[in-house]
Amino acid sequence: MKTCIRTVLVVIAAFALLCCVACSGKKTEEMTGSARLRVVCTFLPIYVITQNVVADVPGVEVLNLLPPTVGCPHNYAMTPGDAIQLESADVLVMNGLGMERFLEGSPYLKRRDLEVIVASEVVEPIPLEFGRERHEQAYAEDEGLPNPHAWVSPAEAARMTRHIGARLAEIDSEYKAKYRANAEKYAATLDSLAARLAERLKGVRNRRIVTFHEAFDYLARDLNLQVVAVVEPDPGVEPSAGKMTELIARIRDSKPAAIFAEPQYSDRLARMLSEETGVPFYVLDPASSGADDPLSYVRIMINNAIVLQQALIKELNP
């Protein structure tokens, strides 16, 4: 009973704070600190990109709203602390494509002095396929069900980087040349990484794969890979026994080259599917959690390139 009361009080406090933000129409001066421009990013991959775009621009503070251990915020619920962070923001950088559903309908997004950058505005969306049934209530019929994991593709991450740079150049025009130069430098690194990935997989014959959830669809599109099955369409919700039986049958029929787990989740199901079907399993990282330094995404994607080559080029796995 006491736990329930505390939970209710926390929710009421958060709601009251959000209402205050919406009514004030501006952030409180006490929260701005010494930063000339405070940029809040919704979660880790957006934060890493933005750090690279903002590098060495004076007076700009970049904050990550969600802890770097959270991963994809599919089921995240905003806290009072998050509301305080957002109240202090001059700029909010978000992924979009439905990833930040915890922000939908929040009154602080209506703040007149808050600039919002949606990084995925330059992305050609891929619709959800395996997770459609679980998510169909979240969107109107005419909006479709976009896959939000665009950043997992280095090529798309490069486009997102340039877009964030262009928008920050508009918002903070005094340093527009620096934002654009930083964005181009990091985007060029990501474009080179995308090219290296494609080169590594040039000789692949079997391009069918199984992923843990629909995090790698954009990367698969880049590399001409076919995702034939997904272990958990709703991340964190294990499939029923019946669904597992269907999944095993689908994998046996489609004969994929590999099953991929993710470090953010247990590999128990991937191991089980591998044992049942004889398809080897590996671990691919969608870069949604972990280290938060500016080079972290590149390190992860280089390792993913190595894993993909090991998994898909059979000469390396006799």
C-alpha to C-alpha distance for 69 and 92, rounded to whole angstroms: 20
Q: Strand pairing of 37-41 and 91-94? A: parallel
Collect the ranges in the chain with pLDDT lower than 70.
Answer: 1-33, 131-144, 314-318
Report the pLDDT value the prediction gives residue 15, as an integer from 0 to 100: 35
In the chain, what are the domains? 10-194 (3.40.50.1980), 201-316 (3.40.50.1980)
Give strand ranges (E) for the chain.
37-41, 60-64, 91-94, 115-118, 208-211, 226-230, 258-261, 281-283
**Both structure tokens of 145:** 């069900």
Report the pLDDT value the prediction gives residue 315, as an integer from 0 to 100: 44
What percent of the residues of the chain are helix, what percent strand, and what percent coil, each to the nearest 5? 50, 10, 35
Report the pLDDT value the prediction gives residue 131, as an integer from 0 to 100: 54
Report the pLDDT value the prediction gives residue 139, as an integer from 0 to 100: 42
**Cα–chain-centroid distance for residue 56?**
25
Q: Pick from 135, 117, 126, 129: which is nearest to 74 by CA? A: 135
Residue-wise pLDDT for 139-172, tens only, equals 444 345 899 999 999 999 999 999 999 999 999 9
Amino acid at 148: P
Q: Pick from 212, 230, 205: which is nearest to 282 by CA? A: 212
